[in-house]
Amino acid sequence: MNGLSGYHTWLAQGFGKEESLYRCLKEQILDGRLKQRDVLPSTREAARALQLSRGTVITAYDRLRAEGLALAQQGGYTLVAYSAEDRAPKEQQAPLPRLSGFGERVLALKRNEGISRDLVKHENNILDLSPQECTGLELSRETWQRWMREAVREFAWQKKRMNPLEADESSLEAAIELHLMRHRGVEAHRSNIRVTRGSQEAIMLLVQALINPGERVLIETPGYAGIRYIVESVGGIPEYYNVQDSNQLEDILSITTAKLMILTPNRQFPTGATMEWQQRSQVLRWAEEQDALIIEDDFDSDFGLGSKRYELLQSMDRSERVLYVGSFSRTIHPTLRLGYMVIPSRLVPIIDAIRGVYHRYEAIPMEERALALFMRSGAYERHLCRIRRIISQRAPLYSERLSQAIGSLMEWKPDHIALHIYAEWKGSPSSYAAFKQLALSHGVSWKDGSIYEHLSCDHKLEPTMPFRPSALFGLAHMNQAEWELGCQRLRLAAQSMSSF
């Protein structure tokens, strides 16, 4: 019967009788199989054909009429009132309103980010050795839930919201103060610590406070693309220095007009290198002489295995030039977007003012309370020790297996290994591309390091050392069996490469 043929299909999917009839007719009206002015079966005919009560059919028809899809006529007839041909084309969208300079820059960066990301999706039989956001070493869900419940039990619901300058012993700022003093050698009072939604928000707040459109910011290459996006979003101009060229830093510091530098000296991302003592002194001296500031991003230094453990720039700083930024997203879980900054007192008012624009009446999230309890209990330190122990056990073995597989083609520094291995290709870019395709045909892939390389648009600041093709292999999420299989496939690809 006209319009009723799809009823049993909907009924088989678990919908009720009235709902199935309504959906059946609506679908056919919207896609044009039932056209405008077509007559629907009478309620008696539909009830008899589908073995329904007449009241069920009337209810379904009433819903169609209420939505403007059907129209009741004299004589008990119901007509289709909707024409599929009158639908507005999907591609017709209202034009964007006139955007600010900030809006235009952010929109352009978002579009470019979607193009430039290394987001190749592989088949199920491809073993991906790329570093993963979730490593499997994070805090367990059960453990975090226990601390969240404890935070709820201890929460004083009637207590007045605390001023950050008056943070007490139970606050996350106080827990961070103690942790930094014990484990990082940082003497920071809690009144100079501000908790943020991840380290990226901390850097964004600082850059917004310090950089005007057209001003230059010195950043690392290769490096995390999010730093460049932050600088460009506020209209700043990124300048780059190649962290793999030890001779370039002094030259760039002598000619740059930048008043802000963002770097990861304690475990550089993605190379894993530690900035040498001499370079740290150069950077601090430059900041003092040029009245500049330094953002020390320390998000990836908790699990480095290298023997070089220099003081933090923040600890070496004697003139309040270094703004220290840390994060818990790497150590607890990537979805826990909690970070922090340690800033001098002279910057506290402006940072609090900017934060007040975004979160004027923000209450302290329960996650902050749970993390403070977790840290004060000593469980956070034990958690870090557990991860370091696992990585220290895996890194030598995994590095050895990788070396046996592709050591003739790639090289890396054991001191730079932590949650991932950063390896550089020994040959030409064309041979690297060929090997990558060969490896994929053997069922293994990795993260290409080129996505972290940035070139300055200013010719005088171009890196003096050309980038070599590079790869990132994640250690944390791979068990030994998976790693052995991946290295076996890499070895087969390397053997095929040598036969060319």
The pLDDT, as a whole number, for residue 471 is 92
Mean pLDDT of 333-350: 89
Whole-number Å distance between alpha carbons of 285 and 498? 49
Q: Which of 252-256, 262-266, 306-310 has the lowest mean pLDDT?
A: 306-310
- CA 41 to chain CA centroid, nearest Å: 55
Q: Which of 54-68, 87-101, 251-265, 321-335 has the highest mean pLDDT?
A: 251-265
Short-list 389, 316, 338, CA closest to 197: 338
CA distance from start to end of the chain: 68
Q: Is the dihedral of CA 309, 260, 451, 132 positive or negative?
A: positive
Tokens 């919201």 sit at which residue?
A: 161
Question: Which helix (H) or strand (E) covers residue 263, if one does?
Answer: strand 260-263
Q: What are the tokens at 244?
A: 């793999």
More confident residue, 47 or 14: 47
Instruction: Write down the pLDDT at residue 306.
Output: 56
Least confident of 188-197, 385-394, 447-456: 447-456
Q: What is the DSSP string of 91-149?
A: T--PPPPPPPHHHHHHHHHHHHHHHHS------TT-EE-S--S--S-SPPHHHHHHHHH
- If phi > 0 it is left, if psi is from -120 to 50 it is alpha, else beta; for residue 32 that is left
Query: Quick one: pLDDT at residue 118?
Result: 44
Q: Give the CA distances from residue 388 to residues 65, 183, 383, 397, 420, in Å, rounded to whole numbers and listed in that order.
A: 66, 14, 9, 15, 13
Q: Which two tokens stand for residue 423?
A: 């390896």
Residue 164: predicted pLDDT: 56
pLDDT tens digits, residue range 207-233? 999 999 999 999 999 988 889 999 999
Q: Please choose, from the candidates 269, 197, 204, the residue with its C-alpha nearest in 3D space to the C-alpha of residue 233.
A: 204
* pLDDT number for residue 135: 75
pLDDT number for residue 317: 85
3-class secondary structure, 241:
strand
- pLDDT of residue 91 exceeding 70: no
Cα-Cα-Cα-Cα dihedral sign, residues 159, 163, 167, 170: positive
Q: Burial level of 109, CB count in 10 A (0-12/13-18/19+)?
A: middle
Where b means 16+ CB within 10 Å and e means fewer, 310-348 reads: eebbbbbbeeebbbbbbbbbbbbbeebbbbbbbbeeebb
pLDDT of residue 101: 81
Per-residue pLDDT tens digits for 70-89: 888 877 788 888 876 665 45
pLDDT tens digits for range 388-418: 888 888 889 999 999 999 999 999 988 888 8
Of the two residues 463 and 19, the one the predictor is more confident about is: 19
Paired strand residues for 240: 219
User: What's the pLDDT at 342?
Assistant: 93
Question: How much is the pLDDT for 489?
Answer: 93
Copy the structure tokens of residue 408: 């003739």
Lookup result for tokens 């380290």: 199
pLDDT digits 0-9 by tens, 292-304? 999 999 877 777 6
Place of tokens 């299989």: 485
Residue found under tokens 């049993």: 8
Using DSSP's 3-state secondary structure scheme, residue 328 falls into: coil
Q: What is the pLDDT of residue 19?
A: 85
List the single range of 91-100, 105-114, 217-226 with lowest mean pLDDT.
Answer: 91-100
Among 84-93, 264-273, 299-308, the least confident range:
84-93
Q: How many CB atoms are located within 10 Å of the residue 208 CB?
A: 17
Quick one: pLDDT band at residue 160, thresholds 50, 70, 90? Answer: low
pLDDT reported for residue 387: 87
Return the percentage of the chain with pLDDT > 90, whole number. Answer: 26
Q: What percent of the chain is modeled with pLDDT above 70?
A: 86
Find the mean pLDDT for residues 462-478: 78
Residue 485 has pLDDT above 90, yes or no: yes
CB 17 within 8 A of CB 30: no
Residue 38, φ and ψ in degrees, nearest 5: -65, 145
Q: Rounded mean pLDDT of 335-350?
A: 90
Tokens standing for residue 93 = 């969208």
Q: What is the pLDDT of residue 161?
A: 53
Evaluate whether 96 touches 83 at the Cβ level (below 8 Å): no
Other beta carbons less than 10 A from residue 70's beta carbon: 24
- Per-residue model confidence (pLDDT) at position 124: 58
The residues near 422 (Cβ < 8 Å, ≥ 6 apart) are 270, 271, 272, 412, 416, 449, 470, 471, 472
pLDDT for 119: 42
pLDDT above 70: residue 15: yes
- Nearest alpha carbon to residue 253 among 467, 454, 461, 457: 461
Q: State how far the Cα of 199 lies from the Cα of 298, in Å rounded to an integer.
A: 9
Backbone CA torsion sign across 167, 172, 178, 181: negative
CB 339 within 8 A of CB 195: yes
**In the structure, what pLDDT confidence band is assigned to residue 96 with cuts at 50, 70 and 90?**
low
422 beta partners: 472
Q: Is pLDDT larger for residue 479 or for residue 122? A: 479
Q: In this predicted model, which residue has the larger pLDDT, 119 or 344?
A: 344
Q: Tell me, what's the pLDDT at 166?
A: 58
Mean pLDDT of the 445-451 span:
89
Question: What mean pLDDT value characterizes the chain?
Answer: 83
pLDDT at 90 over 90: no
